[in-house]
């Protein structure tokens, strides 16, 4: 099929990029850094301060972030700037592949990637796999476009992006092997090629070898210069070399995240992609469409790699989302041509589907508000001839939800059989697309953490700091009362291992200790709730809820129903206590002897 550009195509891609950047950068510093994020940010901060720390295997994040810290100062916003920028740049990938995907599917894919909840959440996390994902796809796109220099540069940056790049390359490699196995021509036809075809193939091989040599040269230069920040930080090369061993070690170190949670994340956050992507897979295999088959093989390979990797995290789903959304875009592009004379009927059908789905969602939200509410249960028993058949009817809201969905199915069938199958199909697709699109947009906003700051998202990898702002405010006030400066007073962390707490209290003299010396009297001590200050000097303490962790593994069906709407889930809280030496308070004149 000949490539036909869409009118105002560049403007539409620009709008997709603006939407992506808005979701990724708005209030980027609002939430405190988690321990995983802070661990990467602290390494960048140490590099910015002229130290030579042992770097983790993500030099493409650590070194540019350290430069930002050096120029503008350390902050939550700058700690997350590189992933947010790379997450926004992901919109360029469909643009570069638009000739292979066709214009409309590529444009739809750009908007899907811009609004995907998982990609939005991962782009707002310091040290996430988003740079690896973006650089790998950009390298692939430029290689396909026969631009080996750009492919080499982005390939080098991908290799500098940490262990996550190896998961993506393993999935792509497995998909390539499956494709080559399926598309391999029969043995008896391989020797029957004309001479001119063989010569043309040899010429293409020479060009491919030259392009590969150029890409490797530029990739090696990128690793050398980018991995050392132009030779200013040579330890970046050792960090890059450590990425593959770290990834391989994950095959022997289970993370405790079940594979089913990855599939549940797809169902909870990407129902639009899941529905139409699976339809595209079935259609592609039945009709033997090469593009669909190749994307479905990539989808299968990425799913297998993420599911069987013992150190899996929910964020690994990002490698699955790209082929899944591409398949969904290809499928939805088949339902965009509506004739003028059928627009009213299609719009009416779409409106009916949208209204019924909206009503079903409102009913489901009512169930999630209190799944065990006795008011939702019919208390009257059913008796026949004096015999009690049911002591209690099923919850009425559940019956209503199933009834609405059945009504939706019956309505589509009646329109298809009694009016027009085409009208029923187009109206159903557009109604589903609008309803699930609004749902996805809401999930994307929720995935930022700004809608429900006290809620829980599956994309967050570890425990989250809770009362970080209040703890920092307390420490700053005590320091200012005693010294006149909010950051000049020393702080001691007593037997607490929390990179997030170290990041929160950065910019002051911070000391870590497993026990306190009886001859010392530190001004401010932060300890766990179980540790007491056994010193001869009097202290005052205030407890804070520091890290919280939801009970993912023991949540029941009713807890998951409530979480699916309100992001509410039972959690365990870790308490820390801020101890301040008594003589530092403004209401006492006591001083040290």
Q: Is pLDDT of 297 > 80? A: yes
Residue 267 has a pLDDT of 94
The per-residue pLDDT for range 385-429, each reduced to its tens digit, is: 444 434 444 567 778 888 999 999 999 999 988 888 899 999 999
Q: Is pLDDT of 116 > 70? A: yes
Average pLDDT over residues 181-200: 57
Lowest mean pLDDT among 171-180, 189-198, 389-398, 458-467: 189-198
Q: Is pLDDT of 327 > 90? A: yes
Residue 451 has a pLDDT of 85
Residue 368 has a pLDDT of 85
Residue 531 has a pLDDT of 67
Q: Give the sheet arrangement for strand 539-550, strand by strand.
A: 464-465, 539-550, 571-581, 524-528, 491-494, 510-513
Q: Is pLDDT of 373 > 80? A: no
Q: Is pLDDT of 28 > 70? A: yes
* pLDDT category of residue 378 using cuts at 50, 70 and 90: very low
Average pLDDT over residues 253-265: 92
Q: Is pLDDT of 180 > 50? A: yes
Residue 376 has a pLDDT of 52
Distance, in Å, from the CA atom of 10 to the CA atom of 91, rounded to the nearest integer, reads 12
Average pLDDT over residues 433-455: 91
Q: With beta carbons less than 8 A apart as the criterion, state whether 93 and 113 touch.
A: yes
The per-residue pLDDT for range 136-149, each reduced to its tens digit, is: 999 999 999 999 99
Q: With beta carbons less than 8 A apart as the criterion, state whether 40 and 56 touch.
A: yes
Residue 588 has a pLDDT of 66
Q: Is pLDDT of 524 > 50? A: yes
Paired tokens of 230: 């132009």
* pLDDT category of residue 455 using cuts at 50, 70 and 90: confident
Q: With beta carbons less than 8 A apart as the criterion, state whether 107 and 115 touch.
A: no
Average pLDDT over residues 240-255: 92
Percent of the chain with pLDDT over 90: 59
* pLDDT category of residue 189 using cuts at 50, 70 and 90: low
Q: Is pLDDT of 57 > 60? A: yes
- Domains of the chain, by residue range, sit at 9-185+195-249+265-335, 340-447, 464-584
Higher pLDDT, 71 or 7: 71
Residue 114 has a pLDDT of 96
Q: With beta carbons less than 8 A apart as the criterion, state whether 265 and 458 touch.
A: yes
Q: With beta carbons less than 8 A apart as the criterion, state whether 460 and 34 touch.
A: yes
Q: Is pLDDT of 383 > 80? A: no
Strands 539-550 and 464-465: antiparallel
Average pLDDT over residues 287-293: 92
Paired tokens of 248: 């391989």
Residue 381 has a pLDDT of 44
Distance, in Å, from the CA atom of 492 to the CA atom of 586, rounded to the nearest integer, reads 21
In three-state secondary structure terms, 311 is: coil
The values of phi and psi at residue 499, to 5°, are -55, -35
> How far does the chain reach from its first CA to its final CA, in angstroms?
88
Lowest mean pLDDT among 66-70, 186-190, 221-225, 258-262: 186-190
Lowest mean pLDDT among 21-35, 69-83, 440-454: 440-454
Residue 520 has a pLDDT of 79
Distance, in Å, from the CA atom of 177 to the CA atom of 170, rounded to the nearest integer, reads 11
Mean pLDDT of the chain: 87
Average pLDDT over residues 177-182: 88
Residue 60 has a pLDDT of 94
The per-residue pLDDT for range 529-569, each reduced to its tens digit, is: 776 777 778 888 899 999 999 988 888 888 888 899 988 88
Residue 440 has a pLDDT of 94
Q: Is pLDDT of 384 > 60? A: no
Distance, in Å, from the CA atom of 393 to the CA atom of 12, rounded to the nearest integer, reads 52
Residue 584 has a pLDDT of 83
- In angstroms, the Cα distances linking 365 to 327, 360, 361, 371 are 30, 9, 6, 10
Burial class of residue 530 (count of CB atoms within 10 Å of its CB; 0-12, 13-18, 19+): exposed
In three-state secondary structure terms, 552 is: coil
Residue 69 has a pLDDT of 96
Residue 391 has a pLDDT of 43
Sign, Cα dihedral of 215, 217, 220, 221:
negative
Q: Is pLDDT of 88 > 50? A: yes
Average pLDDT over residues 103-111: 95
Going by C-alpha positions, the residue among 326, 316, 322 that lies closest to residue 265 is: 316
Q: With beta carbons less than 8 A apart as the criterion, state whether 567 and 452 touch.
A: yes
Other Cβ atoms closer than 10 A to 513:
15
Higher pLDDT, 338 or 114: 114
Residue 194 has a pLDDT of 55
Q: Is pLDDT of 173 > 70? A: yes
Residue 254 has a pLDDT of 92
- In angstroms, the Cα distances linking 400 to 198, 377, 396, 477 are 67, 12, 6, 55
Q: What is the dihedral of CA 208, 211, 215, 221, to 10 degrees?
A: 140
In three-state secondary structure terms, 384 is: strand
SS3 per residue for 67-80: HHHHHHCCCHHHHC
The per-residue pLDDT for range 466-481, each reduced to its tens digit, is: 899 999 999 999 888 8
Please enumerate in sequence order all residues whose Cβ is within 8 A of that of 226, keeping only pairs 6 or more positions apart, or say none: 59, 60, 63, 156, 157, 160, 236
Average pLDDT over residues 259-283: 94
The rounded Cα 337 to chain-centroid distance in angstroms is: 33
Strands (E), 187-257: none
Residue 221 has a pLDDT of 93
Q: Is pLDDT of 217 > 90? A: yes
Paired tokens of 137: 């796809």
Burial class of residue 58 (count of CB atoms within 10 Å of its CB; 0-12, 13-18, 19+): buried
Residue 428 has a pLDDT of 94
């Amino acid at each position: 099929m000949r490539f036909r550009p869409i009118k105002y195509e560049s403007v539409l891609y620009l709008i997709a990029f603006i939407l992506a950047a808005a979701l990724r950068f708005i209030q980027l510093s609002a939430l405190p850094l988690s321990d995983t994020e802070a661990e990467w940010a602290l390494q960048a901060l140490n590099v910015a301060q002229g130290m030579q720390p042992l770097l983790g295997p993500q030099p493409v994040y650590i070194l540019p972030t350290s430069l930002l810290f050096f120029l503008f100062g350390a902050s939550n916003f700058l700690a997350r700037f590189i992933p947010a920028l790379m997450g926004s740049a992901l919109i360029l990938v469909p643009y570069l592949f638009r000739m292979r995907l066709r214009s409309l599917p590529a444009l739809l894919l750009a908007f899907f990637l811009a609004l995907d909840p998982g990609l939005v959440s991962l782009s707002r996390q310091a040290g996430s796999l988003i740079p690896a994902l973006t650089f790998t796809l950009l390298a692939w796109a430029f290689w396909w476009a026969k631009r080996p220099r750009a492919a080499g540069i982005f390939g080098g940056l991908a290799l500098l992006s940490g262990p996550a790049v190896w998961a993506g390359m393993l999935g792509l490699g497995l998909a390539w092997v499956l494709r080559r196995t399926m598309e391999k021509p029969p043995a008896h036809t391989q020797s029957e090629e004309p001479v001119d075809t063989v010569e043309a193939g040899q010429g293409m091989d020479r060009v491919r070898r030259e392009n590969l040599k150029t890409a490797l040269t530029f990739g090696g230069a990128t690793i050398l210069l980018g991995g050392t920040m132009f030779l200013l930080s040579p330890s970046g090369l050792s960090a890059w070399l450590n990425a593959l061993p770290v990834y391989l070690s994950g095959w022997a170190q289970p993370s405790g995240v079940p594979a089913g949670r990855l599939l549940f994340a797809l169902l909870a956050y990407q129902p639009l992609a899941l529905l139409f992507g699976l339809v595209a897979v079935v259609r592609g295999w039945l009709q033997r469409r090469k593009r669909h088959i190749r994307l479905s093989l990539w989808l299968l390979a990425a799913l297998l790699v993420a599911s069987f990797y013992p150190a899996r995290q929910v964020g690994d789903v990002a490698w699955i989302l790209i082929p899944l959304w591409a398949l969904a875009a290809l499928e939805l592009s088949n339902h965009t041509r509506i004739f003028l004379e059928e627009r009213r009927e299609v719009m009416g059908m779409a409106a009916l589907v949208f209204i019924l789905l909206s009503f079903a969602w409102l009913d489901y939200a009512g169930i999630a508000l209190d799944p065990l509410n006795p008011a939702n249960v019919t208390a009257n028993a059913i008796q026949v001839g004096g015999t009690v058949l049911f002591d209690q009817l099923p919850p009425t809201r559940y019956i209503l939800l199933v009834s609405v969905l059945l009504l939706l199915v019956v309505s589509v069938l009646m329109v298809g059989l009694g009016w027009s199958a085409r009208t029923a199909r187009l109206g159903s697709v557009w109604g589903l697309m609008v309803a699930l699109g609004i749902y996805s947009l809401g999930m994307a906003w929720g995935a930022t953490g700004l809608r429900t700051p006290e809620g829980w998202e599956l994309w967050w990898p570890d425990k989250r700091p809770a009362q970080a702002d209040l703890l920092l405010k307390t420490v700053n006030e005590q320091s200012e009362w005693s010294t006149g400066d909010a950051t000049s007073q020393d702080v001691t962390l007593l037997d607490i291992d929390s990179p997030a707490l170290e990041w929160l209290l950065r910019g002051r003299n911070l000391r870590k200790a497993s026990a306190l010396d009886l001859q010392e009297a530190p001004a401010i001590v932060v300890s766990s709730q179980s540790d007491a200050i056994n010193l001869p000097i009097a202290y005052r303490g205030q407890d804070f809820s520091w890290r919280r962790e939801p009970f993912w593994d023991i949540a029941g069906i009713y807890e998951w129903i409530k979480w699916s709407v309100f992001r509410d889930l039972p959690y365990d809280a870790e308490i820390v206590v801020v101890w301040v030496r008594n003589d530092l308070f403004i209401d006492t004149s006591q001083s040290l002897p």
